[in-house]
């Protein structure tokens, strides 16, 4: 158990936003980062197909890496499959990532909150339930973006992103109702924090961009406090790409995050 890694899972590079925070809280742990790039983007998949794809993949991942815990650092996957994963692999702890609707509802002053996510996350019953449970007094706008996760992937690899495209994707988040206007945008896709500076730059007015990465990492530690123990990591953190194809640029990027690929 002491040497068992934390498995961090996403469809692409988005989970790295969570890995950054997790490293700070668990400096003595080894991490295995799994990017299911063969199946990217998850946001456009039909629900039944994506569900069985992820369940099958986890059977292999748990067998191969024997992690202490798995962090599903992906809203699109978590809102669909977190309960099914717990059911299928009882005894293995899973930490999910779901839209930060509760903290947004607690924090908003104007009562106008937007949730920016993939088309998959936006249409999930799980997301709708979070709104009725925690944000019934707010006006919550769900904004599904087909392109943003891909733009974040491009930005991380090429260091360049089309700002006009980012602006167009975030635009529907901004609502004015009389004196009131949107004051919080929930970043409900782990890819999006990588574009936060571009979003701030192209936003029609300043808002609070809610990134749940730190809260997710804290949740993992609260579930298994021993994850935060120890100092020296034995072994190297590793990145795994399900496509099996990794080019020079991606390898360098992963090395930049301290991951051998
Ligand atoms: N990073 C994923 C999320 O948090 C989604 C990206 C994708 O569409 O695959 O929702």
The per-residue pLDDT for range 40-95, each reduced to its tens digit, is 999 989 999 999 999 999 999 999 999 999 999 999 999 999 999 999 999 999 99
**Is 96 known to sit in a ligand binding site?**
no
Q: In whole angstroms, what separates CA 198 from the centre of its chain?
A: 18
State which ligand 1 atom lies nearest to the alpha carbon of 74. Answer: 4
pLDDT tens readout for residues 81-119: 999 999 999 999 999 999 999 999 999 999 999 999 999
82 and 118 both lie in a single domain:
no
Would the CB of 182 count as within 6 Å of ligand 1?
A: no
Look at residue 139 and tell me if it is in a domain. Answer: yes
pTM of the entire structure?
Answer: 0.95
133 contacts 204 by C-beta, under 8 angstroms: no
119 and 205 both lie in a single domain:
yes
142 and 201 both lie in a single domain:
yes
Look at residue 22 and tell me if it is in a domain. Answer: yes
Domain boundary among 211, 228, 243: 211
- Work out whether the CA dihedral 168, 174, 175, 179 comes out positive or negative: negative
Q: How many domains does the chain have?
A: 2
State which ligand 1 atom lies nearest to the alpha carbon of 73. Answer: 4
**What per-residue confidence (pLDDT) applies to 230?**
75
48 and 70 both lie in a single domain:
yes
160 and 34 both lie in a single domain:
no
Would the CB of 17 count as within 6 Å of ligand 1?
A: no
Task: For residue 151, give its domain range.
Answer: 101-211
Look at residue 113 and tell me if it is in a domain. Answer: yes
- % of residues, the chain, pLDDT over 70: 98
pLDDT confidence band for 226 (50 / 70 / 90) = confident
pLDDT tens readout for residues 210-222: 999 999 999 999 9
**Of 189, 195, 210, 253, which residue is the catalytic one?**
189
218 and 207 both lie in a single domain:
no
CA distance 250 to 157: 6
Domain of 41: which CATH number?
A: 3.40.50.1860
Reading the block at residue 112, the tokens are 């106008």
**What per-residue confidence (pLDDT) applies to 111?**
98
pLDDT confidence band for 233 (50 / 70 / 90) = low
123 and 175 both lie in a single domain:
yes
198 contacts 166 by C-beta, under 8 angstroms: yes
**Is 144 known to sit in a ligand binding site?**
no
To the query of whether residue 173 is one of the catalytic residues in this protein, the response is no
Dist. CA 10 → ligand 1 center (Å): 7
48 and 119 both lie in a single domain:
no
SS3 call for 95: strand
108 and 192 both lie in a single domain:
yes
10 and 90 both lie in a single domain:
yes
CA distance 77 to 167: 26
208 contacts 184 by C-beta, under 8 angstroms: yes
108 and 164 both lie in a single domain:
yes
Would the CB of 96 count as within 6 Å of ligand 1?
A: no
112 and 170 both lie in a single domain:
yes
Look at residue 152 and tell me if it is in a domain. Answer: yes
Averaged pLDDT score across all residues of the chain: 95
CB-count burial class (<10 Å; 0-12, 13-18, 19+) for 58: buried
**What per-residue confidence (pLDDT) applies to 229?**
84
pLDDT tens readout for residues 235-255: 789 999 999 999 999 999 999
């Amino acid at each position: 158990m002491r040497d068992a890694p934390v498995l961090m899972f996403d469809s692409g590079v988005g989970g790295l936003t969570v890995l950054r925070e997790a490293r700070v809280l668990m400096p003595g742990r080894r991490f295995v980062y799994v990017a299911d790039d063969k199946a990217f983007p998850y946001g456009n998949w039909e629900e039944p197909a994506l569900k069985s794809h992820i369940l099958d993949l986890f059977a292999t991942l748990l067998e191969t890496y024997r992690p202490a815990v798995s962090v599903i650092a992906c809203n699109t996957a978590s809102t669909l499959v977190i309960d099914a994963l717990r059911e299928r692999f009882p005894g293995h702890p899973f930490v999910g990532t779901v839209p930060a609707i509760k903290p947004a509802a607690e924090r908003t002053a104007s009562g106008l909150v937007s949730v920016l996510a993939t088309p998959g996350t936006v249409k999930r019953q799980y997301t709708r339930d979070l709104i009725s449970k925690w944000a019934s007094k707010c006006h919550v706008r769900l904004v599904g973006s087909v392109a943003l996760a891909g733009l974040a992937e491009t930005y991380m690899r090429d260091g360049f992103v089309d700002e006009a495209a980012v602006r167009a994707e975030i635009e529907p988040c901004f609502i004015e109702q009389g004196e009131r206007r949107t004051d919080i945008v929930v970043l409900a896709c782990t890819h999006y924090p990588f574009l936060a500076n571009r979003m701030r730059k192209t936003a029609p007015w300043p808002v609070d961009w809610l990134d749940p990465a730190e809260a997710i990492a804290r949740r993992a530690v609260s579930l298994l406090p021993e994850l935060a123990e120890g100092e020296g990591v034995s072994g190297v953190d590793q990145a795994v790409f399900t496509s099996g194809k990794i080019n020079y640029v991606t390898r360098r990027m992963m090395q930049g995050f301290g991951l051998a690929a």
